[in-house]
Amino acid sequence: MSALPVPVEQLAVADAGPLVRPLAPARVADAVSEPAWVRRTLIGVALAFLTLFLFVPLIAVFVQAFAKGLDVYWAALTDSDAVSALKLTLIAAFISVPFNLVFGVAAAWAIGKFDFRGKSVLLTLIDLPFSVSPVIAGLIYLLIFGLQGWWGEWLRDHDLKIVFAVPGIVLATVFVTFPFIARELIPLMQAQGQEQEEAARVLGASGWQILWRVTLPNVKWALLYGVILCNARAMGEFGAVSVVSGHIRGQTNTLPLHIEILYNDYQFAAAFAVASLLAALALVTLVLKYIVERRAKASYDAESLT
Amino acid sequence: MSTRALLLRRHSVLPGFNLALGFAVLYLCFIVLIPLSAVFLKTFTVSWGTFVDTVTSPRVVASYRLTFGASFLAALINAVFGLLVSWVLVRYRFPGKRLVDALVDLPFALPTAVAGIALTTLYAQNGWIGKWLPFKVSYTPLGVFIALTFIGLPFVVRTVQPVLEDLQRELEEAAATLGASRLQTFAYVIFPAVMPALLTGFALAFARALGEYGSVIFIAGNMPMVSEITSLLIITKLEQYDYAGATSIAVVMLVAAFALLLLINLLQAWARKRQGR
């Protein structure tokens, strides 16, 4: 203790940051800020734009959903076609999310914890589905599994159906939601580095133990958000699924396709009732994102203090 | 061992590299790369003359004009208002700011079909917004623009916002002490710093808009030559079992999308360099 040139208590205070961190004095702040009327105008214009383009459409979904009353709303949701569409949507999400989750963890482990050549190429390829139009994502499965496609005749001879059936819908959903979990995990695991994993390794942990006890707990919030986002996208996908579904009511309709059918039938209240389910899912996704970001920021702040 | 030599992996004590990378690459190949190659392989079965005829027919060209034009304008509007929104969110305090910040991501999370029917109803002539406007929006090219603006908004805000947050206040203080007005500081100090991020956000919004389908088809009215987007034309061809025609148009859109992806990667590399990372 006495060998230290500075007493420990003072060290702790100096490290605690806020006391010595340079804060912009009030006078300087005036010089690098705008007059109040400019601030108010900018805030006003920004909020007006967001209200017009974001808030009003969101509110409209719920208002239109209940426009014809609770009975119509309830009838639209319990209609047998709606229920089977909901089931199919859940099936597609329950299959595609775990697949993309395993891929996301594997890709993030390889990219985040190791240095190897070709990493940036791999990163670009993972982003590829983002830049492919959903319609084209559906088209590629028609070209492979459709009747005129590569395996079309073979599949027909063996009495297997992929497009215009559930497997095609699942495949298209997997493609469209492919990058979401990987994109959440990779930057975080890259930023966290590998010291903790190396320490665990030196202490004798196996690879799976490191993954379960060190890596995954460190990224749990990003992982959760990735899963939620992937799930929201899987349940809401429209273009790709529309191409491969064949629109068979009660069989190959997902919730977004069911919305389209109702809307084109002029059953607006029913269409918005089903849409309100998906809009609620979107809101849950945003709330979780908010929580995850706050947790991530809190743990980051806690780390930078110590 | 041979894969390690090939990939020139730096030595690490951590296990599982081969398993993780092997699985990731295999999955990537089966889900993304092999299926995508089908589009290009299918095009090779089409003769060059037929391909050119298909992708340059008047109806297809009209759809490019609408898709690229409306996407460009929507991305431009998003660049302007996205910069404004991120500026307001980073620099100013106002009630409800956190809520607004969280809701900016709504177009990411809201299914496109839901956005499509909501916007169509709002901008229809008897809709909440449409009835106040002296001109038609729903079922016209203007409707396409509105839908594409909605889906592109978060891209600009979420790329510009972190850069504005990291911007060193000292630079602005230095500009102020050297006698710059606030507008000059913005034009010569702040704007050049956020420019790469703004361009990236613009390109991302543009790329997303090019491929958009769900939100547009409801509001567009889908009249051939007037308000028909290229994605819809691909679907129309598919419904007529003209797979070769649909694939030809898809290749044109894919090449445009990949060119944009390359541009975005270059922009991001430039942005990182500018930020000195």
* Residues of A with Cβ-Cβ distance to B180 under 8 angstroms: none
CA A247 to chain B, closest CA, distance in angstroms equals 12
Q: What is the pLDDT of residues B141-182, one digit of tens each?
A: 999 999 999 999 999 999 999 999 988 888 888 888 898 888
Q: Judge: A32–B20 Cβ closer than 8 Å, yes or no.
A: no
Q: Are B215 and B113 in contact (CB under 8 A)?
A: yes
Q: Choose among B28, B98, B258: nearest Cβ to A126.
A: B28
Q: What is the pLDDT of residues B19-52, one digit of tens each?
A: 999 999 999 999 899 989 988 888 888 889 889 9
Q: Judge: A47–B23 Cβ closer than 8 Å, yes or no.
A: no
Q: Judge: A256–B234 Cβ closer than 8 Å, yes or no.
A: no
Q: Read off the pLDDT of each residue in A68-84 and give the average, rounded to a whole number.
A: 90
Q: Judge: A140–B35 Cβ closer than 8 Å, yes or no.
A: yes
Residue A138: pLDDT band by 50, 70, 90 thresholds?
A: very high
% of chain B with per-residue pLDDT over 90 = 49
* Residues of A with Cβ-Cβ distance to B121 under 8 angstroms: 60, 64, 268, 272
* pLDDT the model gives residue A2: 41
Q: What is the residue whose two structure tokens read 């089903």?
A: A274
Q: Which residues contact A15 (CB under 8 A, 6 or more apart)?
A: A305
* pLDDT the model gives residue A3: 44
Answer whether B255 touches A (CB < 8 Å): no
Q: Would the pLDDT of A190 be above 60?
A: yes
* pLDDT the model gives residue B6: 53
Residue A7: pLDDT band by 50, 70, 90 thresholds?
A: very low
Q: Judge: B33–A125 Cβ closer than 8 Å, yes or no.
A: yes
- Average model confidence (pLDDT) for chain A? 85
Q: What is the pLDDT of residues A201-219, one digit of tens each?
A: 989 888 899 999 999 998 8
Residues 49-68 of B with CB under 8 A from A: none
Residue A293: pLDDT band by 50, 70, 90 thresholds?
A: confident
CA B270 to chain A, closest CA, distance in angstroms equals 15
* Residues of A with Cβ-Cβ distance to B231 under 8 angstroms: 133-136, 239
Report CA A203 to chain centroid distance, whole Å: 35
Q: Would the pLDDT of A79 be above 70?
A: yes
Q: Judge: B112–A236 Cβ closer than 8 Å, yes or no.
A: yes
Q: Read off the pLDDT of each residue in B211-234 and give the average, rounded to a whole number.
A: 90
* pLDDT the model gives residue A230: 93
The burial of B272, by beta-carbon neighbours within 10 Å (0-12 exposed, 13-18 middle, 19 or more buried), is given as exposed
Rounded to two decimals, the ipTM of the complex is: 0.87
Return the number of CB contacts < 8 Å for A and B. 288
Residues 117-176 of B with CB under 8 A from A: 117-119, 121-122, 128-129, 149-150, 153, 169, 172-173, 176
Q: Judge: A197–B14 Cβ closer than 8 Å, yes or no.
A: yes
Q: Choose among A42, A146, A175: nearest Cβ to B31.
A: A175
Q: Judge: A197–B246 Cβ closer than 8 Å, yes or no.
A: no
Q: How many CB atoms lie within 10 A of CB A16?
A: 12
* Residues of A with Cβ-Cβ distance to B234 under 8 angstroms: 135-136, 139
Q: Would the pLDDT of A35 be above 70?
A: yes
* pLDDT the model gives residue B16: 84
Among candidates A195, A242, A197, which has minimal Cα distance to A215? A197
Q: Which of A50, A64, A212, A237 to mutate to test the interface with B (most CBs of B within 10 A)?
A: A50
| DSSP H or E run through A34 | none
* Residues of B with Cβ-Cβ distance to A109 under 8 angstroms: 16-17, 20
Q: What is the pLDDT of residues B227-257, one digit of tens each?
A: 899 999 999 998 888 888 999 999 999 999 9
* Residues of A with Cβ-Cβ distance to B31 under 8 angstroms: 174-175, 178
Q: What is the pLDDT of residues A245-258, one digit of tens each?
A: 877 777 788 999 99
Q: Would the pLDDT of A51 be above 80?
A: yes
Q: Choose among A50, A110, A285: nearest Cβ to B100.
A: A50
Q: What is the pLDDT of residues A99-132, one digit of tens each?
A: 999 999 999 999 988 888 888 889 888 988 888 8
Residues 86-115 of B with CB under 8 A from A: 87-89, 91-92, 94, 98, 100, 102-115
Q: Would the pLDDT of A28 be above 60?
A: no
Return the axis-axis angle of helices B141-166 and B112-123, rounded to nearest 10°. Answer: 120
Per-residue exposure over B161-178, b if at least 16 CB sit within 10 Å of its own CB, e if not: bebbeebeeeebbebbee
**DSSP string across chain B:** -HHHHHHTPPP-S---HHHHHHHHHHHHIIIIIHHHHHHHHHHHTS-HHHHHHHHTSHHHHHHHHHHHHHHHHHHHHHHHHHHHHHHHHHH---TTHHHHHHHTTHHHHS-HHHHHHHHHHHHSTTSTTGGG-SS--TTSHHHHHHHHHHHHHHHHHHHHHHHHHHS-HHHHHHHHHTT--HHHHIIIIIHHHHHHHHHHHHHHHHHHHHH--HHHHHHH---TTTS--HHHHHHHHHHTT-HHHHHHHHHHHHHHHHHHHHHHHHHHHHHHHHHT-
Q: Judge: A141–B35 Cβ closer than 8 Å, yes or no.
A: yes
CA B187 to chain A, closest CA, distance in angstroms equals 14
% of chain B with per-residue pLDDT over 70 = 96
Q: Would the pLDDT of A56 be above 60?
A: yes
Better-scored residue on pLDDT, A306 or B234: B234
Q: Read off the pLDDT of each residue in B66-71 and give the average, rounded to a whole number.
A: 95
Q: Which of A66, A140, A213, A263 to mutate to test the interface with B (most CBs of B within 10 A)?
A: A140
Q: How far apart are CA A295 and CA B47, in angstroms?
A: 56
The burial of B82, by beta-carbon neighbours within 10 Å (0-12 exposed, 13-18 middle, 19 or more buried), is given as buried
In the structure encoding, which two tokens stand for residue A67, read together?
A: 């426009």
Among candidates A207, A179, A206, A181, which has minimal Cα distance to A113? A207
Residue A16: pLDDT band by 50, 70, 90 thresholds?
A: very low
Q: What is the pLDDT of residues B72-84, one digit of tens each?
A: 999 999 999 999 9
Q: Which of A124, A133, A197 to mutate to test the interface with B (most CBs of B within 10 A)?
A: A133
* pLDDT the model gives residue B8: 62
- Average model confidence (pLDDT) for chain B? 89
Q: Choose among B35, B122, B211: nearest Cβ to A56.
A: B122
Better-scored residue on pLDDT, A7 or B211: B211
Q: Judge: B253–A136 Cβ closer than 8 Å, yes or no.
A: yes
* pLDDT the model gives residue A15: 45
Q: Which of A201-205, A283-287, B163-167, B222-226 is predicted least confidently?
A: B222-226
Q: Judge: A201–B14 Cβ closer than 8 Å, yes or no.
A: yes
Among candidates B159, B164, B152, which has minimal Cα distance to B201? B159
Provide the Cα torsion A182, A187, A189, A192; round to 10°.
-170
* pLDDT the model gives residue A101: 96
Q: Are B175 and A31 in contact (CB under 8 A)?
A: no
% of chain A with per-residue pLDDT over 90 = 46
Q: Would the pLDDT of A17 be above 50?
A: no
Answer whether B40 touches A (CB < 8 Å): no
* pLDDT the model gives residue A30: 65
Q: Judge: A238–B213 Cβ closer than 8 Å, yes or no.
A: yes
Q: Judge: B117–A238 Cβ closer than 8 Å, yes or no.
A: no
